[in-house]
Structure 1
């Protein structure tokens, strides 16, 4: 509306129908990159610093492979990245032969991209397919995706000392290197996020099939075999979805979006006892039902942005497999569970923006697997009340990472006992902390 006279709007789309609907006065059909530009891009990705002079046989094969990419930069990047880790003529020929089996139709590039998926190691395939749950073109938080992978059991540790988060980070880097992810950025708080190209997202949906998909206006593809679901623009209370839910008891991931889903969460919790990941953020929940304690397999629970939720039911402490609990920006949230020590598997407790919290519960220090605890609040009456934990709860939490803000230090006891109490936090052993704030 604020455009000057003779302003023009450029619309980019993969569908010619969109151009017709927009009433475009002029359509420009993008063609693939010219041969020399295609080769220049391919060469950088497939050969890297390797000398082309010494790899003439690979150069010949590479130029033949390039003809299947149709000049599409994404295809060139993906196939080039795949070949970078292959050194022998046989390996390159295998890729070429697989591509030649695909019809050379420049308007359908997905089969070419799928070749790179086919060559992924088996441990990365479910990690990539799981990304079909995220809406197209949306930025995805790297930390969130990694925690969801962990909840589904996709991360395989080779030894007792291996950290699952570090292994998952390597998985992420491999997919990024293969051009499955792009546009990695970092916000002011140091949280990394990324995007998936629309075509790569289409590929994720293709390989995920009926196992993992977003439910929007179409419910035809829902199957009893589906194990991961995200509700977008359709209510989970609709007749078609309700009918489906009677049989779909093996759901392992459930993501609800939009306030229209708020009335459904109690029913869902009672129905899907196999859930490992449950995302209920921003649904306007005031009281989480007691039935949450029935989800014995639950490992990831996101309740963030439920601004009117003041506390959690006691039954939450039955979730001994829970790894991630997100309560960020639950503005009215006032207390963590008294028996929080029973959540023995908890690794990430996200409580940023819970400004009404006035203390940390006694027993928090027994959760020695904790890696994320952005805020620790020193309670006022920790020496009097057995329910309130003092700063000594931090003593054994030596795996904490990222940022740690210790608030209300003035509540520590006075005199010599205060010094002893503060030393009990054992901060010198928290070697993974990157940012420490004392308030």
Structure 2
């Protein structure tokens, strides 16, 4: 109660006219209210029809659709003034623009079932119109806790592991899963409450939608809360389950799961699950049909060798645990598709035979803090599509050339320990330029401190379309470490930077060995740093810098032997014989 008083105290001094929107019992708001609350009324039937029409008819003309509109208005009356019901029903109707089908929905007996809440008939009807694969995917979400937040890719990987996604020719299975997800999102079964630190959407299910998922999945999905009676009936057809606990999980609760030998999914949602380690052997022995095992955030520090009993396992998450390594026996799980090791701060080494994961598609590692190098011959994982971190090793089989055969990589990848790339030939072996699905640098707005690569000799910065300025941090100024300047850099190129306007922050001794500087296709560049500091510069190439007014006031270094100026009209005129520069 004291916490509640602390929370409510600021509300007592709010400015006149301040309002609080409450979506639950009005008793809560009455404890701080100074006037009578204003209760939001249900939408009118006309407003409900407007919401339905926006989804169902979109930009279509209503000409000649008078009967369809009349039926739609009657459907709106049955939505009980609920915007969620109206939008959900509206997302079904675009696929059924035949009067008889709208009439069938209007006459459905689900509207009149007394056990349903007002909005539930509309939600259930919307579910009934889903395809069989979409029904399975939606029902599966019932094992998540209420208000659980999830990422799109992760849910698609779970559906993949369970075999819910039906192949469509040569189309990538993840792309089909994304279509499934977008379909459910469009129908309001999912909602976007906010975005994460990478500006990626995070999703959840509205409370009533989650209740619907539990209703339609009763026979095959169930949640168990820690401390529930051990006399629960056996769900003979149970295939997917989760365990919810606010504290450490009790051993007796875990033992209850051993009766469900047909389980394909087992997820644990708890703050601390240290007792799980004691019972993993029994779980691995009794739940040998598992395809999905999620032990993230459980506090476990190891997995047992007996995990190789789970021959059908396709998805394993031990993210946010204290685990230090994976047992070598895990390499015998040849069907594994997704392995998640995010935020495992103590994790040190992947199994020696990681190369055996021939079906692995998604390896989710931390960008920092993990591993000193990749395991041997990771290049044999040719199905791999997600690899957020690649740690370059010194030994053969762990070097950057292992990336060569990973042609299906997608999204982002962070390559660390670049000091172990000893020559240009090794760097070219990675063939990053031939991996078309990797994110480019086009959306990057800041250059990283590449000065931390003291042995770097050649740097080509290409197609950073969102970069506006190159400033002092590029050369290390203002950084906490003692590194300053590109002490080994001999060649620097800026190429295809359509929004680059300013390059500043170049000081004496920042690039003492730079021989060649090339600035190509930077049409908005108006300012460049003093170049007379570049005491070793031999060749300067300024090409397609259309509005650059002049060379630096301090002039060019005495070491310069070659100056190329092409397609830079203003600069070219100033540098002619007798020109201002």
Q: Distance in 1 between matches of 2:327 and 2:273?
A: 20
The aligned length equals 423
In structure 2, the partner of 1:239 is: 252
Q: Alignment partner for residue 368 of structure 1, among 382, 390, 399?
A: 382
Aligned mate of 2:12, from 1, 5, 8:
5
Q: Which of these residues, 328, 332, 354, is aligned with residue 340 of structure 1?
A: 354
CA distance in 2, matches of 1:47, 1:201: 27
| Alignment CA distance shift 1:3-1:323 (3 Å) | same
- Counterpart position of 1:179: 188
1:210, 1:221 within 8 Å by CA — same for their partners in 2? no
More deviation in 424-433 or 228-237? 228-237
Q: 2:433 aligns with which of 409, 416, 428?
A: 428
- More helix by percentage: 1
Q: 1:241 to 1:395 in 2, by over 3 A?
A: closer
Q: How far apart, in 1, do the equivalents of 2:365 and 2:115 lie?
A: 51
Partner of 1:48: 58
Shift of 1:337: 1.1
TM-fit CA distance, 1:188: 3.4
How far the C-alpha of 1:253 sits from its partner, in A, is: 0.6
Residue 185 of structure 1 and its aligned partner are, at CA, apart by 4.8
In structure 1, what is the equivalent of residue 392 of structure 2?
378
Distance 1:105 1:63 in 2: 24
Q: Which residue of 2 aligns with 1:393?
A: 402
Equivalent residues in 2 for 1:188-207, closer than 5 Å: 188-207=197-216
Distance 1:4 1:285, change over 3 A: closer
User: Distance between the aligned counterparts of 1:109 and 1:222, measured in 2?
Assistant: 31
Match of 1:211 among 181, 196, 220: 220
Counterpart contact for 1:277–1:301, Cα < 8 Å: yes
Q: Distance in 1 between matches of 2:49 and 2:12?
A: 42
Distance 1:107 1:23 in 2: 26
Which structure 2 segments of 5+ residues have no match? 1-5, 442-447, 454-581
CA radius of gyration, larger in: 2
Contact kept, 8 Å, 1:32 with 1:70, in 2: the verdict is yes
Instruction: Work out whether 1:60 is the aligned partner of 2:65.
Output: no
Aligned ranges 1:112-131 → 2 under 5 Å: 112-131=122-141
Displacement of 1:23? 6.9
Q: Secondary structure at the match of 1:401?
A: coil
Q: Which residue of 2 aligns with 1:412?
A: 421
Shift, 1:86, TM fit? 1.5
Rate the CA distance shift 1:256–1:105 in 2: closer, same or farther, 3 A: closer
The equivalent residue for 1:230 is 242
The answer for the alignment partner of 2:274 in structure 1 is 262
What is the SS of the residue equivalent to 1:148?
Answer: helix
Asked if the contact 2:276–2:300 (Cα under 8 Å) also holds between the matched residues in 1, the reply is no
After superposition, the Cα gap between the structure-2 partners of 1:106 and 1:213, relative to the gap in structure 1 and judged at 3 Å, is: closer
Does the CA-based 8 Å contact 1:146-1:165 persist in structure 2?
yes
Q: Could you report, residue by residue, the CA deviation over 1:153-175 in whole angstroms, capped at 9, with x for unpaired residues?
A: 0011122x221100000001111
1:11 Cα offset (Å): 4.0
The alignment yields a C-alpha RMSD, in angstroms, of 2.5
Q: CA deviation at 1:247?
A: 2.1
What residue is the counterpart of 2:309 in the other structure? 294
Counterparts in 2 of 1:264 and 1:309: CA distance versus 1, 3 Å: closer
User: Would you say the 8 A contact 1:404–1:435 is kept in 2?
Assistant: no
Higher relative contact order (CA 8 A, sep 6+): 1
Alpha-carbon displacement from aligned partner over 1:73-102 (angstroms, at most 9, x marks no partner) = 000001111001212111211211215752
Q: Does the aligned pair in 2 maintain the 1:68–1:100 contact within 8 Å?
A: no
